[in-house]
């Protein structure tokens, strides 16, 4: 079975449980903690994905690490993943849960790259425009400074990429001149 299908099924089941038990914000915080541990502590990730370690030992360690930090349902979810030997899909499951949460809450992620930091007014204008255009309740803007753009910006909203950078415009002009024999 495709790993993405596996991760979506597990994520959907956990997400629906969290909504049903009215513990969505707790569940999301728990999943963020698990994802942080999984992605920043290589020893934890290697231990969890080690096929030579029996599931009972993994569950015991997981309980000792997380039982006081996350909800019982979140720990049960992690134990189910361990029991079914789906540890290699954990990161994808956590990403899927985060995506489901954002969709549920009407949150749109926006990445903007510009040669200098955006002002507060520019960020507010960008958020207002995207909220109106995409009929979304909340916009989370993450900003990257890329001095190679020379001017303008590159905006990524979900799968849409809008490149209004001076660098790309100059590249397109050069390409057009070369194909028309101007240079």
- pTM of the shown model: 0.74
List CB contacts of 136: < 8 A, sequence separation 6 or more: 106, 107, 108, 130
The predicted pLDDT at position 101 comes to: 93
Q: So what's the pLDDT on residue 183?
A: 53
Of 12-16, 77-81, 168-172, the poorest mean pLDDT is in: 168-172
Return mean pLDDT, the chain: 89
The structural domains of the chain, with segments of one domain joined by +, span 3-103, 106-179
User: pLDDT digit string (tens) for 114-138?
Assistant: 888 888 898 888 888 888 888 877 8
Residue 30: pLDDT band (50, 70, 90) is very high
- Distance CA(94)–CA(11), nearest Å, equals 7
CATH number corresponding to 3-103: 1.10.520.20
Using a pLDDT cut of 70, give the percent of the chain over it.
97
How much is the pLDDT for 3?
56
117 vs 2: which has the higher pLDDT: 117
Q: What is the rounded distance in angstroms from the CA atom of residue 115 to the CA atom of residue 150?
A: 6
Confidence of residue 24 (pLDDT cuts 50, 70, 90): very high
pLDDT at residue 16, rounded to an integer = 96
* 33 Cβ contact list (under 8 Å, min separation 6): 66, 69, 70
Q: How confident is the model at residue 181 (pLDDT cuts 50, 70, 90)?
A: low
Q: Is the pLDDT of residue 23 over 90?
A: yes
**Contact, 4 vs 92, CB < 8 A?**
yes
- Closest residue by Cα to residue 89 from 78, 99, 101, 104: 78
Residue 1, pLDDT score: 44
């Amino acid at each position: 079975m495709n790993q993405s299908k596996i991760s979506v099924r597990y994520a959907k089941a956990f997400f629906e449980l969290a909504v049903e038990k009215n513990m969505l914000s707790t569940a999301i915080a728990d999943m963020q903690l698990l994802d942080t541990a999984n992605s920043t502590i290589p020893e934890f990730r290697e231990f969890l994905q080690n096929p030579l370690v029996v599931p009972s030992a993994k569950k015991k360690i997981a309980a000792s690490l997380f039982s006081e930090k996350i909800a019982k349902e979140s720990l049960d979810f992690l134990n189910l993943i361990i029991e079914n030997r789906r540890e290699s899909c954990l990161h994808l499951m956590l990403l899927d849960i985060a995506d489901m949460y954002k969709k549920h809450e009407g949150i749109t992620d926006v990445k903007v790259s510009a040669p200098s930091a955006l002002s507060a007014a520019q960020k507010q204008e960008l958020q207002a425009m995207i909220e109106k255009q995409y009929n979304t309740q909340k916009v989370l803007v993450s900003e990257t400074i890329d001095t190679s753009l020379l001017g303008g910006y590159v905006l990524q909203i979900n799968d849409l990429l809008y490149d209004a950078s001076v660098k790309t415009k100059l590249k397109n002009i050069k390409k057009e001149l070369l194909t028309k024999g101007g240079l």
